[in-house]
Structure 1
């Protein structure tokens, strides 16, 4: 009769563990029989499944996060946490969240005093990473995101967005340098700008001067490649782009050019692009 048992996903919690127990325990007379292991009655199906050795504990996952918190930034920990949720199938997500929340929220707690706002921002970051893996935070046992709490990571982000979009829609050229530490919304600002530009049917170019930034920001192209910069930059270096080429026309048409991690680039590269 096993073939007629309804399948259950790991994310369904107790329903999944109940099915797992039914597949491995013969002759249970009632649900209480499934809770009992070695004459000890456990409060949940998961606990009974764990005691029977049918699943592994989350100790290894918890230790992994603890070790990473010693040298990784909180944003990297949130990405790791989302990866664990999607690919490692932890049994007790809420306990994993409670045990490592301080490390996951360290950067936001330093900047903001509102407990709800900090939690919302951490959950929002994790949800963004989960969505990039075709998953969603609502599938896991987490505190819920409070839609009534402001999710903005900084006032500068809203100001920069409004100022840049005003220049774009007014066809007035301008150069903006956005300097914000990790966790203050630089990535969110870039995404919002690019999405708005594309929705208006305009062309945008997103580049990055470092390989690390390329990994973080999907869709970017390395600055050297986009602007045809020489490998060995000197005072009189120029971009190898002819006036009538397709790249030159693309640069003329683009409404916005974003160069991420521009402070990591050499002065000669910026002068050549200018």
Structure 2
């Protein structure tokens, strides 16, 4: 998923943000499925997931053909240095009940982009058609594109949270389609008086999911069509990267009284006897339709054009793969030190004059990588391909700076030539980046070089983060990021902490309690003094202690806060528990 996600972003980088986002959901009532079920003597589509998978694949292929060849929503092409090509990405997901659906992202040609509200109304509608003038369209929308009833009308609906629809239905009436400053579209939803009855509740245009009439009538399925103008839509295609796959929690119990195994208390007050298997098994959930889809080897992800992943490495840091039982001579005989994609690019630049004007990313447009022979071969004809270098994190050091250089250097023949600028060979790729001005271009006027990026992070965090969170952020930046001036970062960190102190100090002065200045005098003097703070709950005793600690620590003093109980120590920032009669601290 991660690799496919980055491949899709490479397409966005090459051709800009997508124009249309289409969600195509399988309809178990399709005539093809019902006819096959009847001939097989079955009635439920869930009993034949193989039929569901096959029919949906046929429908999806037909829809993609309509997009690519018949231009049903406009010309799905983009223009690049080769010519016109089709650009589209889709991914397949499966609902818990088993039905597959496809998320499709399309790029439209310049003349067919939806730049005005009239263009949007021509492709996308969010209203019920007139039943008398367009009976076919009315039936399709009323059966397939209505959201609800939900919210207060149906509290048991899955989308209802705290009495409101999590999808923001019903939407407000609006006389004309509008776009806000961010390009987000509010589709036209007029109060036409046309309604449809669903579960004894009348729904109107405010409950219609945006659709395209031609696609809806032809494929008779839930097909949500939305205009998008940001590459962030690609993230939705790969949301399972963060969510993880669907999971099911299984409980294995045994209530036989003759069983003498261990007993574990269940969620109810009654004790149940469990077998020797673990109490709970958290498993990946694969529906029957998804299993059939994968058995048939149907693609989960599809993209056009092809994306060539380009791997690179530092000198003498090639990746070598071997089996556990391989001997060193066997590894050396099998692995070629120059058999990597990156080294062959350098060697090919020495042997072949063609491609000297191409960067590493553009190289696949004229050469193809032969993975079996480990070499770059000239293409006999130009093809649609997008090159993408594998990701390098800024904390990866020299590898990250090598990646920056490879985006601009053409015709490199050696590793040394990559970090050579104006005839001067610099010892590191980072220094070469500085002298080429790449860091200024990539990090907006030298954010990385002057630590402005990290200062901005600390400045933003100071508006919402607490003192411990700011300290944690500061340490994280020092450990994992390239910091050229830690003292400047500490100054920024201390300033944010001092601002926090001023705020808490102002609040403290409003309380009928001790003034913090008295504590400052005792803490900074040679002799201390004992204070006993006693009052009922809710009088800000913990707030007073935290403010005193924060004030002293902001001045560079080391303050150790201890408490006799674990709960009390947790209430103090950086608090430690003192074990009675032992002299030890629990940290």
Which structure has the greater CA radius of gyration?
Answer: 2
TM-score, normalised to structure 1, is 0.33
| Higher strand proportion (structure 1 or 2) | 2
